[in-house]
A = this chain, B = another copy of it.
Amino acid sequence: MDINDLIRSNLRNYSPYETEEKPIDENWLKLNTTENAYPPIPEILDDIKNGIDNKVRLYPDPTAFELRKMILSVLLRDNDTLTNRNSIFIGNGSDEILDVIFKVFVEPGEQVIIFYPSYSLYKVLASLYNAKIIEIKLNDDFTIPKTAFSVKGKIMIINSPNDPNGKSYDNQTILELCKNFPGIVIVDESYADFSTYTCLSLLKKVNNLIVTRSFSKSFSLASLRIGYALADPNIIKEMNRVKLPYNTNHLGQIAALSCIKNRNKVYEQNKKILEERKRLTEELNKYSGISVLPSDSNFIFVRFEDESKTLKFIWDLKEMKILIRHFSKPGLYNYIRITIGTKEDNNKFLQAFEEIGNKYL
């Protein structure tokens, strides 16, 4: 039997998501993925350890009741946003949440609006679900162009702060998009804890908004796959109907609970990332020939005036066992994305950058 004859026809032109390089050798400085520079604080690691008991044999709570309760009480107090624990969906990372949203809403051939550049998984998912992809190019300053305010479709996905440039969109912009768009607007706020912006308060004003959040970035739980979505209870109800029964793991639920409980200490730790973001931005902006875009996230996006120098830096950094991210895509050839490391990581990076800069800048 020829297996290729059995595969869905739209997978023939489908390009999968490509994960970033992950060297096995631990001596590499990995500033190429957007993980938190710091591990979870000891209290959280202890809580996870204490969660490893005889209950490991049991299925996780399919409703993640305790975690939803905790998110609700915290969000209610901190953001005055939600009134109902049926406004919360818990997923196996933001990625799975997006997958579930597609399952609820997207029929083959329906329009899905994504922006360029942005997190590349959006396009991959839209393609997987056989949607008609409308890719709107962001303005040169990465703001949202006028066409987005009149486009039709079933789903629109905004990343705020946006990967790779790191800027957030303001609530006025997002509210306008929600009001004008005839479908669901997803705002992926995976990096919002590094920003002063969040559109959570808009959930009270429009019912076609889904805000997704992640414990992978600001809470350093990437390995445990846990994220959540906030939306109108009618949307959350449908998402719960189509999700796999046991989508999230028990230790991820426990870890996320502990993160919320210990959030003030975590935010304190994250302040170091914000300070380092400021320092890295200032240090790199001292070089002529490059400019650092203002960032609300845990990474910075650096522009080279001379495109030909971009790859020289990437290759030389790699020689020195430092990985950063380059996107070999139109309009992005002369940019690099650098994840903010610890102070020591960044010192090492800056020193390497200086050596290379002396050669090329």
Say yes or no for A111: interface residue by CB 8 A criterion: no
Say yes or no for A252: interface residue by CB 8 A criterion: yes
Say yes or no for A285: interface residue by CB 8 A criterion: no
A50 to B48, CA, bound (A): 11
A270 to B169, CA, bound (A): 55
Contact with B along A223-253 (1 / 0, CB 8 A): 1110000001011001011101111111110
Say yes or no for A189: interface residue by CB 8 A criterion: no
Chain B: minimal CB distance from A200 (Å): 19
Number of copies of chain A assembled together: 2
Identify 19 new A-B residue pairs, CB closer than 8 A, beyond the known A7-B105, A35-B59: A3-B208, A4-B234, A6-B208, A8-B103, A8-B104, A8-B105, A11-B241, A14-B241, A17-B244, A33-B59, A52-B52, A58-B222, A92-B249, A108-B108, A223-B249, A223-B251, A225-B248, A249-B251, A251-B251
User: Which B residues are CB-close (under 8 A) to A55?
Assistant: 39, 223
A1 x B208 contact (CB < 8 A): yes
Say yes or no for A61: interface residue by CB 8 A criterion: yes
User: Which B residues are CB-close (under 8 A) to A6?
Assistant: 105, 154, 183-184, 208
User: Which B residues are CB-close (under 8 A) to A161?
Assistant: none
Give the bracket for the number of chain A residues in contact with chain B.
35 or more
A182 to B249, CA, bound (A): 36
Contact with B along A192-213 (1 / 0, CB 8 A): 0000000000000011100000
B19 x A62 contact (CB < 8 A): yes
Chain B binder among A93-101, A286-294, A321-329: A93-101
A-B pairs with beta carbons under 8 Å apart, 19 shown: A3-B234, A3-B238, A6-B184, A8-B104, A11-B104, A11-B241, A17-B244, A22-B59, A39-B55, A40-B56, A45-B52, A48-B56, A57-B222, A59-B222, A222-B246, A223-B249, A223-B250, A223-B251, A251-B251
- The dominant DSSP class at the A interface is loop
A125 nearest in chain B by CB position: B244
A255 nearest in chain B by CB position: B56
